[in-house]
Amino acid sequence: MPPMPGVRKQGRAQQADLDTVSGACATLLASLPRADQRRKGETYVRGLLSTPGRKTMRNLAAITDEPAAAQSLHHFISCSTWDWLAVRSSLAGQLNRLLSPRAWVVQSMLVPKTGQHSVGVERRYVPALGETVNSQQSYGLWLASEAAAAPVNWHLSIGKAWLQKNRTKAHATIPTGESGTTSDEAAVQAALKAAAWGLELRPIVMDARYSALHPLVEAFTAAGLPFLLRVSGSCTLLAAGVNQSDHRVVAASAEDLLGLARAQRRPVEWIDPTSPGARRTSLVAPLQVYWPSLPESRPQGSYTQVPTGSARNASLGLPLTLLGKWQTYERGVRQMWLTNITDAGYGPLLRLSKLIHRVDTDFSNISLNVGMQDFEGRSYAGWHRHVTLASVAHALQLLRGRCP
């Protein structure tokens, strides 16, 4: 095929790569209503894939021979009208077929900022860092398998204070229905919107140690979604009949409850996603617990068959499994996971939890290189369109590496 208009001539290998990108963009950007929008979208994706360093509009435009390309791309991202959700839905459908994901991993993306002008930027305390950081926070929904992971949806956390201060500014382009989103609500919305696209459901896996657990458990339960959430040791749960001689109902921290289940530990082998082929072994023990504020509920699909115990146990609340992970040389529990996938073996659950490492690895090796964090504009719509096309670029870079 001839080179795309406005693009510099390519060598044979480069032309073959251009053809691959063009074919993928023709599919993924088909929802864009105008031909010039689809052309600019392809140019933007190619720039994300090929431009070294930060993906500024000027650097992205440098791959073309058009004098006004930077201004044109800026308008396409920040001021145009195309629907980013339609592109994400198409991307999710394609990757669901190509990657055969085992889980949907919900992952936070924190971007430190020096100024206050970018959409959603405010000072927030970051427990993982132990300090307050001027930053922008969003959550991505990733399709993940042991071999690869790719983001398909994003939700930006916008505090009510920032919203009240900036809604009247035209550059923010905040939708009229947006009333402020906490980080936990952003995580939930990233998953719920993807679930509405008709994909085959997969367990939602998330590190929720620093999140408000109640909104996550209650939202995913209400939506009928299977989940596996990493929790902190201080999370309080109910347990009945922790050992054979004591059938009292106990309200205790996750760490203390798993201490009582220590004798049930069994070794489980798993493959480390960060070191292909490397096999590890951990000690794992499950414990049936209850979430007291919710009635018994069945997630959609075939992931969970909620046990029907005695009436006394059913009245405790939502039956869940608390999974503990120990290293073979340590006495204390290393990780604690809470799930409504109560009919799964603890081996499969442990392996699902490891997909967070797969996402971390591919985010570092691919997403950062295609400019996922590089948007510097002030537009809400611009941020969403940028991370959408960066997700397309991530997918193309990922599939490049998987193809011979």
pLDDT digits (tens, 9 = 90+) for 108-167: 999 998 877 788 888 988 888 889 999 999 999 999 999 999 999 999 998 888 887 776
DSSP summary character for residue 219: H
Please count the CA atoms within 13 angstroms of the CA of 37 that sit on its side-chain side: 19
Q: Of the given ranges (173-187, 332-346, 357-371, 379-393), which has the lowest mean pLDDT?
A: 173-187
In a 3-state reduction of DSSP, which class is residue 290?
strand
- CA-to-CA distance for 183 and 151, rounded, in angstroms? 18
Q: Is 30 exposed, middle or buried (0-12, 13-18, 19+ CB in 10 A)?
A: exposed
**Cα 295 → chain centroid:** 28
% of residues, the chain, pLDDT over 90: 60
Terminal CA-CA length for the chain: 22
Q: What are phi and psi of 124, to 5 degrees?
A: -140, 145
263-296: per-residue pLDDT in tens?
A: 889 999 888 877 777 888 899 999 999 997 765 5
pLDDT of the residue at 5: 39
- CA-to-CA distance for 374 and 383, rounded, in angstroms? 10
Nearest Cα residue to 354 out of 101, 190, 145: 145
The domain locations on the chain are: 12-78, 219-358
Share the mean pLDDT of the chain. 85
pTM here is 0.88
pLDDT of the residue at 327: 81
pLDDT of the residue at 192: 95
43-79: per-residue pLDDT in tens?
A: 999 999 999 999 999 999 998 888 889 999 999 999 8
- With cut-offs at 50, 70 and 90, classify the pLDDT of residue 225: very high
- CA-to-CA distance for 266 and 284, rounded, in angstroms? 5
| Mean pLDDT for the stretch of residues 163-174 | 67
**Biggest alpha carbon–alpha carbon distance for the chain:** 80
pLDDT of the residue at 127: 87
- With cut-offs at 50, 70 and 90, classify the pLDDT of residue 20: confident
pLDDT of the residue at 66: 84
pLDDT of the residue at 17: 65
